[in-house]
Amino acid sequence: MLGERSFISYKSVCNFCYFSIALVGVLAVYFILHNANWMCGDDLEWIRTTAIGKVESMACHVGQGRFTPLGHYDSNLTVFIPYGHTAFVHYVLVAIYFLLTSFFFLKTINKIVPNVNVCLLLVIYSLFVYVSLEIFIFIVYSEKVVLTGLAFFMYTIHKIQKKASWLLTILLCVVIAYITYAKEPVFGVFVVFSLLNLIFRHKEQNSNEKTVCYFCLLNAFVFVLLYYILVYLQSDKFYNQGRVQLNYFQNIVVAIRNQPCLSIVFVFFIYKILGILKTKVLSYSDIFLFMSVSYCLAYFVLKLNDAYYFIPAIMLALPSICKFINGLLNLKLVKYPVYLFLCLLLYKSVKNIVVMGNAVSYNRVYFPAYFQNLARIAEANTIYVVTDSLKMSDLHYGYKVKNDEIFIGYWMTPRNLNYKFTYVSSVDSVPKGSYVRIYDNGLKFYKK
């Protein structure tokens, strides 16, 4: 009787955790779709293309050191969907990516961590959603394609290891090739995967796994060759060049400050290396961890330190970390402190999901109304921008001016995507009664 009650209690806890996992996913989808609208920033890319029914070219993401022709190419699907010019349809597409990523991520955890503690699964998924929501809550990040592709990769490579399937192998190779051209560091991640498998797990691999490894190496070679011919030889300046005035160590510190989860990844990586040297065993979860660190190193070398760059790396590391924590929960001496830590982590993750979602939902309401108001003024009046050629040559300053011009032009009636402010060197040059926009020391807009 006591055993039966314990089983029922355990079953109830499991059902509650699975329900909570679904609830976290639904919460994320709600915030992705809630108040869907064009915001302020890189959305201008869609304002000029799919938002007005034009196919976005791959060529616009090639040059100045960048080679991501497929990073946003999936957004062209909206051109062929009814009401595809609306922001809501774009966010529906992003929500689908999120759900696919969540599905493959959870399936990967279940395969890599047999009999995973369902409470731990809830916490790990909530942490993943909290970390990755920055990508999925906007439409501007090509990392959404990378996250979905890498989640599919982790799940599928483990599956074909257990049961060979040439159909899955071919599909996996297609996905690998696609996401390689969505974000530059991806090619290096798959090189690390292939070399580790071919060197340390050669005898354990079946023909499908070996095919994937050789394809990854060939894919990387083709990517590097195309990058060299189409980008490197054609570029006289490179993205981010001169913007980061930090040495490599300072840049790493800033990156970890922006994305605190990186500190856990690197500490755990050192721990796992020591364990691998001792056991001489290299599992797929360990290889995913190596891929995670290699992805981070690429951005350290490039001196890019924004938090969202490292989200794919965190996803790659989470299965190995989850496997380790699951083992701790089987130890009587430490399982209760670990449970306490997981409860705090769950609370922080869900709280931050709500805070981030509400903040973005507010901005989606504020910015369209803000630019619509400016557009109505611009239709009947000249708006003067106080600036000079030196400031306009500055990347950030010039981007703000250009961004405003595009968004104002989008909301004008009739639409005017070539709308330009009238530039003057000082406020004294602006006729009385005209509208003035100043970008110095904060944004100011007033009628003189």
CA geometry: angle at 163 spanning 162 and 167, to 5°? 135
CA nearest neighbour of 317 among 382, 270, 249: 270
Model-wide pTM > 0.85? yes
Residue 272 has a CB neighbour count (10 Å cut-off) of 21
DSSP state of 71: S
pLDDT in tens, 71-90: 999 999 999 998 999 999 99
Phi-psi region of 121 (alpha: psi -120 to 50; beta: other; left: phi over 0): alpha
Mean pLDDT of the chain: 91
Quote the percentage of the chain above a pLDDT of 90.
Answer: 72
pLDDT at 262: 96
Amino acid letter, 247: N
Q: How many angstroms separate the first and last alpha carbons of the chain?
A: 83
Q: Does the pLDDT value for residue 7 go beyond 90? A: no
pLDDT at 229 over 80: yes
- Mean pLDDT across 15-21: 93
For strand 435-438 and strand 444-447, is the pairing parallel, antiparallel, or unpaired? antiparallel
pLDDT (tens digit, 9 = 90+) per residue, 88-126? 999 999 999 999 999 999 999 999 998 899 999 999 999
Reading the block at residue 369, the tokens are: 């109304």
CA distance 194 to 117: 31
Q: What is the pLDDT of residues 178-193, one digit of tens each?
A: 999 999 999 999 999 9
Secondary structure (3-state) at 435: strand
Position 2 pLDDT exceeds 60: no
HSE-CB of 280 using CA atoms within 13 angstroms: 0
Which DSSP string corresponds to 211-225? Answer: HHHHHHHHHHHHHHH
Average pLDDT over residues 223-243: 83
Cβ-contact 261, 314 below 8 angstroms: yes
Q: What is the pLDDT of residue 442?
A: 65
Please provide the DSSP assignment of 231-295 as one string: TGGG-SS-TTTTT----HHHHHHHHHHHSTHHHHHHHHHHHHHHHHHHH----HHHHHHHHHHHH
